Amino acid sequence: MDYNIMPLSDASIGDRVKVIEIDGGRKVTNRLMELGIIEGVLLDVVNCGGGPLIITVGNSRFALGQGIAKKIIVEKIRKNVSVN
Amino acid sequence: MQDFVVALAGNPNTGKTCVFNNLTGSKQQVGNWPGVTVEKKEGSIVYGDRTIQLVDLPGTYSLGAFSEDEVVAREYIMSGEADVVIDVVDATNLRRNLYLTLQLLEAGADVVLALNMMDEVQRYNMEIDPKKLSSTLGVPVISTIASKCVGMEDIIEATIKLSGRNRKEKFAIDYGQELESHIERLVTYIERDVKLKTDYPSRWLAIKLLERDERIVAELNRYENAREIVDMAKDSREALNKKLDIKLDSYIIKKRYEFIEHVLDKSLILKESSGPTATEKIDKIVTHRIWGLPIFIGIMIIVFAFTFALGEPLEELVGEGLDAFGEWVESSLMAVDASSIFISFLVDGVIHGLSAVLEIVPLLFLLFLMIGVLEDSGYMARIAYIMDRPMKAIGLHGKAFIPFLLGFGCNVPAIMSTRTLDSHRDRMLTIISNPFISCGARLPVYILFAKVFFPRHRVFVIISLYLIGILMAVLTTKLFGKKVFTEEDTSFIIELPPYRFPTLRGIFLHMWKSVSAFLKRASTVILSAVIVIWFLSSIPFGVEYASDESVIGKISSIIAPIFKPAGFGTWQATIALISGILAKEVVAGTLGVVYGAGGTGLEAVIAQHFTPLSAYSFMVMTLLYAPCIATIGAIRNETKSRKWTFITLAYGFVVAWVVSVSIYQIGTLLGF
């Protein structure tokens, strides 16, 4: 089922997602990739809700604006695990 | 032994600046938010019989050309000035940090890898094998804990060892058959051009051309025969883009990450992650989508309340001390029959001029200290996150808020910090509006006037000035964002570093830095300004000191009518504003000189020359009218445009005049 494929901006707190594709302009795409946000990488959504999201990649935390989050296509692989 | 040059490179938040401080013993400021080192800083290491020049480059994630600080770092590396590059990596974030390492190696740098924060590796349930890392990357790897000064000597020794060696083997990543054939072809052509071949590592240049690096393409325009190579690279790109299933630049980055994975496979063991870290727990609260903003506002209130509550009594103490000192000097000199000119010079000029400025020192300490704590703790990056949504309303993103915040300390570092913003538009908007943010140097004027005219509402009056400054900055951003720089940048990304306890050492470094910078200014620019003003107030000789018959009185009287509608068309106020362009602290200092009084004496004189309304109007003028020389220089440097520097100045003055005049005229109408 394709329900699990969505832009990162639609993910909720506690989701673990896998990056499928980055569908942005050259500049944004390259910047994200340089930060380690590349295809196949797992992201944990730590914070979201209208404004920018906070995600973790490995041991790094990033805040991403909505504009960018819309361009990162992800697959949800774990739902809403409670983050303490 | 021959000296050599070493560059320090690394991602932001890797403890790079801390390594720099340890190695050089310098009082360099360390911050915990992306982009503290916006310009390269230099220091030297004396080790045994060797002296090593150390250059601290801005922290960058890559050597691309996205933001100005990356360009600074890259150009330095490519200049070949550094014999060795120490690459400081955060051991807990190896994957991302090694990306920069690869770029350094591809650029042909001789790298020593400082594997920093090794003490935190265990906490993240990881294990790193530095030996294997070293053998797979082919560079010396040193484990360090910069915050505890561990491994610093090892770095120096590895650096010295590497500097004496000529590396034969060139580092190369295998980009796969498809790409390699194109790289090879480009390299062949590049190497035919003697000039290109000597100026650039050929393989690196070929890859940059395939990545379509705009700066490099622009640079190549300077070479006669490069056109052909640029065109050839373009054809290669088109061919490859058709063949590959993803864009060529993405493909190249992916290949680099594949290489990193290969390196990490051998040297990194990851166990299942442990429970939530302290950073996660704190972020849960302070970046909460409802509570985040009120918490931030609360913190800012505490910051300013603390600064003023503690600073004001100290300020009064210093003021009284300086008053007493001035009186003592005057009476002692009179007792020994010193010439009256000399007494006037020392007391009216130097002491009165400087005391209005020096009084503010304790307040400035505290203000910079608080900003320092915000930086060192890691909260600054969270502020960018929290402010992203409010900043949207003025067409900027959260990262652009940081220069505004730093502006409350000083506009110069604030304007320099805009280099970390990726888009030209955001930089220009932030730079143009930054001078309206009330820096610490404007405080002496507020404090002086608020004390005399609004003794019971001092705090309220000062807050209102800060708010007027913020309002003007917001309106300016909106205006220029709508009319001039219209293309909005929606790409907000910022790293949120782990929280760290600001160390006592870090706090002292902040204190030292602000004190020394301020005292340096006071002893140079401000002191010379007050002396010149004293001199101009005293000639032609025989004229009554600082009267309208003096040279300064005559010149200023010509300009003064401009300020008449704002309520302070006196030549004394005018000269104070003019000299304030040297440094904003001078405004208060000049008043001290031209009224020939300091401390409480000055307060009494001012009370005669201003009304509460004209005093308020004067404070607003001081807030808005023009940035100081140092800030103007920063604007010129960062915009790289004389036109925009001029526009910023002219616009600022018009805004200041209109606002001050409106306040005075409306106030008069209302009967204040």
Is pLDDT larger for residue B635 or for residue B3? B635
Q: How confident is the model at residue B84 (pLDDT cuts 50, 70, 90)?
A: very high
Judging by DSSP bridges, how do beta strands A72-78 and A60-64 pair with one another? Answer: unpaired
Domain borders along chain A are 2-78
Q: For the segment B573-613, what is each residue's pLDDT rounded down to a tens digit? A: 998 898 888 778 778 888 887 787 767 788 888 888 899 99
- pLDDT score for B98: 95
**Percentage of the residues of chain A whose pLDDT score is greater than 90:** 46
- Locate the chain A residue with the closest alpha carbon to B123: A59
The whole-number average pLDDT for the span B247-254 is 90
Indicate whether B36 pLDDT > 80: no
Backbone angles phi, psi at A47, to 5 degrees: -155, 140
pLDDT in tens, B529-564: 778 877 887 777 777 766 777 888 888 888 889 999
Q: What SS3 state is found at B90?
A: strand
pLDDT at B34: 45
**pLDDT at B29 exceeding the cut of 60:** no
Residue pair B246/B254 in contact (Cβ under 8 Å)? The answer is: yes
Nearest by Cα to B462 from B344, B309, B572, B567 = B309
Q: Do A58 and B385 touch (CB under 8 A)?
A: no
Q: Are B57 and B70 in contact (CB under 8 A)?
A: no
User: Which residue type is seen at B193?
Assistant: D
Q: Do A28 and B491 touch (CB under 8 A)?
A: yes
Q: What is the mean pLDDT of residues B373-380?
A: 87
Contacts of B494 in chain A (CB under 8 A): 62-63
Answer whether CATH 2.30.30.90 is correct for domain A2-78.
yes
Summarize pLDDT for B104-137 with one digit per residue, the tens: 999 989 999 999 999 888 888 888 999 999 999 9
* Cis peptide bond N-terminal to B540, omega within 30: yes
Least confident of A10-24, B15-29, B189-203, B274-288: B15-29
**Sequence-separated (6 or more) residues with CB below 8 Å from residue B147:** B15, B18, B117, B503
> How many other C-beta atoms are found inside a 10 Å radius of the C-beta of residue B524?
11
Q: Is A62 exposed, middle or buried (CB count within 10 Å of its CB: 0-12, 13-18, 19+)? A: buried
What is the arithmetic mean of pLDDT over A56-78? 90
Provide the phi-psi class of B339: left if phi over 0, else alpha when psi is between -120 and 50, else beta. beta
Query: Considering CB atoms only, which of B95, B284, B491 is closest to A68?
Result: B491
Highest mean pLDDT among A19-23, B214-218, B363-367: A19-23
Q: Which of B377, B379, B371, B415 is nearest to B510 (CA)?
A: B371
**What is the average pLDDT across B398-425?**
86
pLDDT confidence bin for B616, thresholds 50/70/90: very high
Task: Report the pLDDT value the prediction gives residue B272, as an integer from 0 to 100.
Answer: 65
The A residues from 34 to 63 touching B (CB cutoff 8 Å) are 34-36, 38-39, 46-52, 54, 57-63
Q: Give B497→chain A minimum CA distance, Å.
A: 7
Closest by CA to B185, choosing from B222, B214, B228, is B228
Nearest residue, CB atoms, A54 vs list B247, B275, B283 = B283
Taking only the tens place, the pLDDT of each residue in B466-523 is 999 999 999 999 999 888 887 777 688 899 998 988 877 777 776 777 667 777 777 7
Q: What is the mean pLDDT of residues B362-390?
A: 86
pLDDT of B292 > 70? The answer is: yes
Size of interface A-B (CB pairs under 8 A): 119
pLDDT of residue B169: 66
pLDDT over threshold 50, residue B151: yes
Q: Which tokens is B536 given?
A: 């101009």
Residues in chain A closer than 8 A to B67 (CB atoms): none
Q: Which residues contact B471 (CB under 8 A, 6 or more apart)?
A: none
Pairwise CB contact (< 8 Å): B247 & A31? no
CATH architecture entry for B4-163:
3-Layer(aba) Sandwich (3.40)
Side chain identity at residue B544, one-letter code: E
**Where do the domains of chain B lie?**
4-163, 177-244, 294-488+506-669
d(CA B283, nearest CA chain A) in Å: 9
Is 60 exceeded by the pLDDT of residue B381? yes
Expressed in angstroms, the distance from the first to the final Cα of chain A is 30
pLDDT of residue B263: 92
What is the structure's pLDDT at B297?
Answer: 93
Q: Chain B closest CA to A10's CA: distance in Å?
A: 16
Lowest mean pLDDT among B55-64, B378-387, B526-535, B659-668: B526-535
Q: At residue B357, does pLDDT exceed 80?
A: no
Instruction: State what percent of residues in chain B have pLDDT above 90.
Output: 33
User: Quick one: pLDDT at residue B30?
Assistant: 46
Interface predicted TM-score (ipTM) of this complex, two decimals? 0.91
Measure the CA–CA gap between B285 and B73, rounded to whole angstroms: 36
Opening angle at CA B314, ends B311 and B320, nearest 5:
140
Over range B271-296, report the average pLDDT. 83
- The whole-number pLDDT of residue B514 equals 67
Average pLDDT score, chain B: 85
Of B156-160, B336-340, B562-566, B660-664, where does mean pLDDT reach its minimum? B336-340
